[in-house]
Structure 1
Amino acid sequence: MLTRSVIAATAALALLGTTAQATAADDRVPDLTRFYHQKVTWGACKNLDGAPDDMQCGKVTVPLDYAHPEKGTVDLAMNRIPASGDRRGSLLVNFGGPGGPGVAGLVGSAQQFEDLAKGYDIVGFDPRGVGTSSPVTCGDGSDMPDEPLADDASTVLEQAAKQWQVCRKHSGPVADHIGTINVSRDLDVMRDALGDDKLNFFGFSYGTRLGAVYTGQFPHKVGRMVLDGVDTLTEPMVEQTRVAVEGQQTALDNFVTWCAQNAGCVLGDNARDAKQNMTDLVSQLNERPIPLGDDVEYGGDDLVNALGTALYHRDAWPYLSQALANVVADRDPRALLRLTGVPIPPPDEYAGRAIVSQEDVPPDNFGVALTMVNCADDPDRLTAAQLSDEKMIKSLVDDYTEASPIFGPARLEQVLLCAGQPKGTDFIRKIHDVDTPRFLLVGTRGDPATPYRWAVETAQRLGEQAVLLDNHGDGHTGYFSSKCVAQKADDYLLYGELGRGGLYCGEE
């Protein structure tokens, strides 16, 4: 039975469908002049808690449908830290997801960009469908049909279609025009509105997919680009998601082992037992969620979401350990809510690490946007025939559950929710040997979310213009955790220094 989960029914991660992409096959050349003749009007930021004093906010307007710009528009929220020294232009930043809000991300990361801000205006933005840019949502779950995991293929497809219609109703027309192809085109409109002839871009995690797509769509408009925590361009969603599940479980195992070695670990002092206790805690919260008032509950899916947030960075582990202790001892999830930055009523009591006012952002926006974009970016779909193959479905379930009993089932559900929908774009699969200036890719050997081999494969696919930095470290992405990576990325973005051949950073 669905509950009004704080993450707004992650089960209802429910998503998605497909997006109407503007394609090269459309012979009609739409008039986009008015979108490329705008300028960003910067002003004081409102409702940005913790923002630096010099941060400014603005917006740009982009067409809902690039093939038919008369159908409507979307306003994209932006913010920037103005350059403090000799300005060489703007550096747009995407912090990942898909579904991660860039305006909030820049507020939280402002100090880390101080050196780059000597030469660039550092610009964050909420992509279409994300944050405060026409956010997609599936509502509060009250009108959501049953979950699509069922015994027969027809029921799966029928329920997935019903869920998509609910999400589309709550999201509005942007739901049909989400996806990286369109976000990349938005990126080019932003570049022009900022007054830059070339795009200077720093993409983390999913942001590397966005950057790679831009090199395929606008190769001659690429300036200096860094892609850190490199996403795959070739693996279908089924395979890509399983790799992500495996990485999350590895990170969780490492945390649980660390916790068990420290006094007071609520999961126990034996690593094997602690792993089982974590799995049991998720199940217990799903069976008996914690009531938070106003018909809102904190369940196992919310805990899984919090774990996924905390495990990317080792310095969050002590906080996560204490937050879990609060849940087990007192059924108090407030520390976990702070960890994920999810504000729920009453706001004074539950105010946490959320750094941007979220009153206009649906609590399920991240999960819904993530799945919508991934479905839109993937041409592969499980067919009715495949879904009817009980052995194949059982094999998938077993495979994902073996990869992670905690993260696997929910992530597989995201894959199944794309089943039966028209396929997404195949443009991304075709990107190779881009004709751009040289740019930097960062792959971290111990990355739990984007494995190092993806960085190698993507560098080879993009061609000799892609220079790979081999970072022998841990954690998701390298810029914020490695002084070596930060120095090499800054030297390239500020001074154009890349050298010849591959680059290397050792463990720190």
Structure 2
Amino acid sequence: METRRLLRTSGTLTAAAALLLSACTAQDGSAPPNPAGGNVDRGVDRVLEPLSAEIPGSLRPYYDQELDWRDCGPEGFQCADLTVPLDYEAPDAADDIEVAVVRARATDDGEPTGSLLVNPGGPGGSAVDFVQNFAGVGLPADVRAAYDIVGMDPRGVSRSEPVECLTDEEMDAHTQTDVTPDDAAETAALKEANDAFAAGCADDAGELLGHVSTVEAARDLDVLREVLGDEKLTYLGYSYGTFLGATYAGLFPSRSGRLVLDGAMDPSLPAEKLNRDQTAGFDTAFTAFAEDCAEQSDCPLGDDPEAAGATLASLLADIDEKPLPTGGDRELTESLATTGVISAMYTEQYWPRLRQALTDARDGDGAGLLALSDSYYERAPDGSYGNLMYANAAVNCIDQPAAFDGAEAAEAAVPDFEKASPVFGRNFAYSALICTDWPVEPTGRAHRIEAEGADPILVVGTTRDPATPYVWAEGLAAQLDSATLLTFDGDGHTAYGRGDTCVDGTVNSYLLEGTVPDDGKRC
């Protein structure tokens, strides 16, 4: 069963949520027209207000700390632990926590330009892993020469006080839960699974569960920026990482430097709209896959792209009726099969693998789709899970009120979701119930982020991005006072670092020289 999350290409994880915060002000209502050309009347008018530019005295010890760097991993990486308050509003009344930091030093022999902080998304993706496995060695050489590449696992994620909710065996059962209930018994089973998940998170995380918001993670970023000695934050965020970066700009516009927000999400949208938009995004990606598949000799969905959705739906219905063997202890259920298909929508590099997996499933073998599903959930071959899905729910559910107050509301929304995607609509509507009975109240709400006074910000959107639909990039670029939108006409999730010379060259020029592309530039 999916919670709402977004993945990044190149095998690294990212995902999305929506933000909110007690510092939001203004009234509800429709957002002003979007000059970037997106839909109007999509979000709310309340605005994230900046914090004081002066660092409070109660927080000064955190900003003045020195990191104790140690060698870690191959390639000369250095790791450290940053101490931050559990509760920024009452730093003396609660325990401190430690968040994990890694850096790859600038490869140029001279003095580095500064630090480039990166986040791969999620929420729940590990920035430490991202730096060690990709950004620290795979970003363009000129960027790595100029900057120390730095990653911080946000609070609740991976090495930073990770939230753990279920045993591996319990998580196996959770992922098999039917997310498209056909009757009262299946609806009750879904609620029971969600309740057990939430209770496990509360039992494990305790007080931390109420302090894993994006706002608090952004405040941690500001502490790290100061400790690293950077006057302004230079930042590269993918997917949910764009929400984290935009939140930073909204809270600290005067300390925001060159920010690249790739695979952007729109913070002004309430949870139901975010989920419905993402449903449509995956439908767009599936349409692109179906059109490509129809041109291949081995397409298991036939040679008519318009019939591909119905063919897939029929296969999933058959699997719902009779799960498929996989050659192991687990069967392929409808929920796992759907997750496998969804995981392959993040990058066209997975399309050949999905064609083979669907062919095998049609022939009675579910191993291929199960492997795709396992990669989505970060399930290792030994059956262990990372904490990505736990952190994903914890952050999403604290950042914004739940999309629906119960199964009846989700069922009522199914027609709208199925209009967005006949194949995935029902699944996405019911998946949104994960936050409905969350054990802590959300501390945020949907809001616009304007970041008035910030340096120029570069927002990047991909036209057929499944997880962060292009309209979200348009929406964020329209909100941010100093943003420019760079459009990549392509498939898959996010754009920078995938080898497109136009996108990579434009972003490199911005990071290295501060050159902002012409508004409306397309690659």
Shorter-chain TM-score: which interval? 0.7 to 0.9
Contact map agreement 2:128 2:152 (CA 8 A) in 1: yes
| Percent of pairs with identical residues | 34
Moved more, 434-443 or 237-246: 434-443
Which of 120, 133, 147 matches 1:95? 120
SS in 1 for 2:521: strand
1:143-190 C-alpha deviation (Å, 9 max, x unpaired): 9999897869x9899856565223311344332212211111111122
Correspondence for 2:323: 288
Correspondence for 1:72: 95
Q: Distance in 2 between matches of 1:431 and 1:438?
A: 14
Moved more, 242-251 or 304-313: 304-313
Contact map agreement 1:285 1:299 (CA 8 A) in 2: yes
1:387-424 C-alpha deviation (Å, 9 max, x unpaired): 59x6x654302222343354333432343333366763
Contact map agreement 2:264 2:459 (CA 8 A) in 1: yes
Contact map agreement 1:19 1:175 (CA 8 A) in 2: no
Correspondence for 1:446: 464
Change (3 A) 1:285 1:125: farther
Q: Distance in 2 between matches of 1:285 and 1:156?
A: 18
Contact map agreement 2:324 2:366 (CA 8 A) in 1: no
Where do residues 99-498 of structure 1 align in structure 2 (5 Å cutoff)? 99-106=124-131, 107-109=133-135, 110-140=137-167, 142=170, 163-272=197-306, 274-286=308-320, 287-288=322-323, 290=325, 298-329=332-363, 330-333=365-368, 335-336=371-372, 339-340=375-376, 342-346=378-382, 362-363=385-386, 365-379=387-401, 382-383=404-405, 393-419=410-436, 424-426=442-444, 429-463=447-481, 465-481=482-498, 482-498=500-516
Change (3 A) 1:317 1:462: same
Runs of 5+ unmatched residues, structure 1: 1-8, 47-51, 348-358
Q: Distance in 2 between matches of 1:283 and 1:475?
A: 27
Does 1:58 pair with 2:80? Answer: yes
SS in 2 for 1:32: helix
Which of 480, 487, 502 matches 2:519? 502
Contact map agreement 1:440 1:467 (CA 8 A) in 2: yes
1:71-99 C-alpha deviation (Å, 9 max, x unpaired): 22333233222111241111011112222
Q: Distance in 2 between matches of 1:284 and 1:12?
A: 25
Cα deviation, residue 237, structure 1 = 0.6
Change (3 A) 1:84 1:381: same
Q: Distance in 1 between matches of 2:460 and 2:19?
A: 30
Q: Distance in 1 between matches of 2:22 and 2:78?
A: 32
Correspondence for 2:106: 83
Contact map agreement 1:380 1:423 (CA 8 A) in 2: no
Q: Distance in 2 between matches of 1:337 and 1:157?
A: 19
Matched letter for residue 198 of structure 2: W
Cα deviation, residue 117, structure 1 = 0.5
Moved more, 66-75 or 282-291: 282-291
Contact map agreement 1:205 1:229 (CA 8 A) in 2: yes
Cα deviation, residue 208, structure 1 = 1.1
1:96-129 C-alpha deviation (Å, 9 max, x unpaired): 2222222222313432343310100112232222
State how many pairs are aligned: 466
Cα deviation, residue 31, structure 1 = 2.3
Matched letter for residue 241 of structure 1: N
Q: Distance in 2 between matches of 1:11 and 1:466?
A: 30
Q: Distance in 1 between matches of 2:347 and 2:487?
A: 19
Contact map agreement 2:337 2:373 (CA 8 A) in 1: no
Q: Distance in 2 between matches of 1:36 and 1:456?
A: 35
> TM-score with structure 2 length normalisation?
0.77
> TM-score with structure 1 length normalisation?
0.79
Change (3 A) 1:393 1:139: closer
Q: Distance in 1 between matches of 2:424 and 2:504?
A: 31
